[in-house]
Structure 1
């Protein structure tokens, strides 16, 4: 395993990702790439260049995409996979991971998150601070579960969906790909059409 980690993105989400990596105490060196060319350091870690430089570092570093936007994260992650990059998952030591949980590469699990048994988390996901995902969930690739969101048992969340801060999903509910659930949204039945949903229970407000 490579003993150095390079994080693409040195702003808000990237800094939280770096904090997880530091607390994991797994890499001898951690650095950033960021497209703000005037930025030379973040979190006390060096910014080595911009995202366009990433292929120069693939042989030396494991690489992680620290970008909050699902579509942008997906695009860069898939490019890295295609280029043969080594992509870890980052799991905060103060999260709780149950038995028979699978977590895909490029996924970040933040402090205080709980993922219960027999759940599968795809690649490139964000399981944010204090969120809970109960038993037998299926979270597909490039999903963002925001801080304080709570998913009951046997929930499925489709690729690229975003569940806003404090949202709640009842058990046995399926949420289709590329949905956005607003802050504090309450999902009590299947969502089969992509779009933006708000309220309690949620209703679709735009495609």
Structure 2
């Protein structure tokens, strides 16, 4: 297995991940992208996936913010994945993080919080004790989850949203920016406001 670091998706989100990796003194060999708009991103070569590439021997991290696209690519690549943890994130020794995750600067994972595969815990997000975060979730900057919250697969919680203790958020739901969640959220629901109210369902 190639121990060099590679990324998939030359986006703004990718720039943050490159910075995290460099903060950990890792070298990023290349960024792969389906439709490159430039040859380099922060000095890292961007390589079109239209080229013949053997991903099976590369350690990858998917640098795409969209949860559904990240899931599709992760399932298609058939390779080993690594995670990127910012040195200024605060991680309990009793927390767990699965493969393919990005934990950004100022994020806090407290005791017995469990993060699934290919999740994004964005800048300054707080995940309190005993929270369960399923695969492909994105917690935006400054999200706050109180203790014992569960978030289902593929859900996206918007910037600055707050979730009180013990809440269950279903899969592939969307919580709007600044929302305050005081009741359980069903699968595929879109919730906004304070207190949070369902405005529609995104059925997949």
- Which TM-score tier does this pair reach, normalised by the shorter chain? over 0.9
Q: Equivalent residue for 1:72?
A: 69
Q: Which residue of 2 aligns with 1:47?
A: 46
Stretches of structure 1 lacking an aligned partner (at least 5 in a row): none
Taking structure 1 as the reference length, what is the TM-score of the superposition? 0.92
CA RMSD of aligned residues (A): 1.5
Q: Which string of whole-angstrom CA distances, capped at 9 and with x for unpartnered residues, describes residues 87-131 of structure 1?
A: 001111110000221101111000110000111100010000010
**TM-score normalised by the chain length of structure 2:** 0.93
Aligned partners of 1:2 and 1:62 also within 8 Å:
yes
The equivalent residue for 1:204 is: 198
> Given that residues 36 and 46 in structure 2 are in contact (C-alpha distance below 8 angstroms), is that contact kept between their aligned partners in structure 1?
no
Q: Runs of 5+ in structure 2 lacking a partner?
A: none
8 Å CA contact 1:3–1:26 kept in 2: the answer is: no
- Alignment map for 1:185-196 (pairs within 5 Å): 185-196=179-190
Judging by fraction of residues, say which structure has more strand: 2
Cα distance between partner residues in 2 of 1:197 and 1:134:
21
Closer, same or farther: CA 160–173 of 1 in aligned 2, 3 Å? same
Q: Provide the secondary structure at the position in 2 that maps to 1:105.
A: coil
- Of the three residues 167, 173, 184, the one matched with 1:179 is 173
Give per-residue Cα distances to partners, 1:138-194, cap 9 Å, x unaligned.
Answer: 000000000010000000000000000000000011001011000000001211242
The 3-state SS of whatever aligns with 1:206 is strand
- How many residues in Structure 1 have an aligned counterpart in Structure 2? 201
CA contact (8 A) 2:82 2:100 kept: yes
Cross-structure match for 2:35:
36
